[in-house]
Amino acid sequence: MSISYKGQIYIWPLLFLILISASCTKDKRLVGKSLQEIELINRGRTVYMTTCVVCHNLDPKRVGPTGPAIHNSSLELVKEKLLKGGYPAGYKPQRKTHLMPTFIDEHEKDIDAIHAFLNL
C-alpha cells in the first residue's frame, strides 16, 4: 500500500507513520502494574540502558559482549554485584571472570529499580 498524489507514489511517509504508531504502543508487560511500579521499572530501565548495556545486552534475557544474561536476577544478587562486586552465599556464577565494577556511589539508590526492570 502506498500513498499517491498526481501520479507520484509516496511510500516513505506511509512507512514513517507506521513506524511512529508502532513505537507508541505501550509495553504489554506493564499492564496491571501500579503507577509506582511503572515508575520504578522505568527508572531501572533508564539506569540499565545508560550503564549496564556497555557489557550486558540491550535485552537482559540475552548474553552481552562481556556480561551474562541477567533477566530474573534476584534482589540479593543485584545488591551483591552492584555494591560489593560479589555473589550471594551459595550462588553459582555464570562466568568465572570478575570484570564487573561496583557501583556503590552511582546506583546504591537504584537497586530496587534495576531489580524491578530485570524482573519485568
Residue 14 lies in a domain: no
Q: What range does the domain containing 65 cover?
A: 28-118
First to last CA, the chain: 36
Q: Residue 80's pLDDT is what?
A: 95
Total count of domains within the chain: 1
User: What are the pLDDT digits (tens) for 15-55?
Assistant: 666 666 555 557 888 899 999 999 999 999 999 999 999 99
Q: Residue 6's pLDDT is what?
A: 59
Residue 2 lies in a domain: no
Task: Write the burial class of residue 57 (CB in 10 Å: 0-12 exposed, 13-18 middle, 19+ buried).
Answer: middle
Q: How far apart are CA 33 and CA 26, in angstroms?
A: 12
CATH number at residue 56: 1.10.760.10
Residue 22 lies in a domain: no
Residue 63 lies in a domain: yes
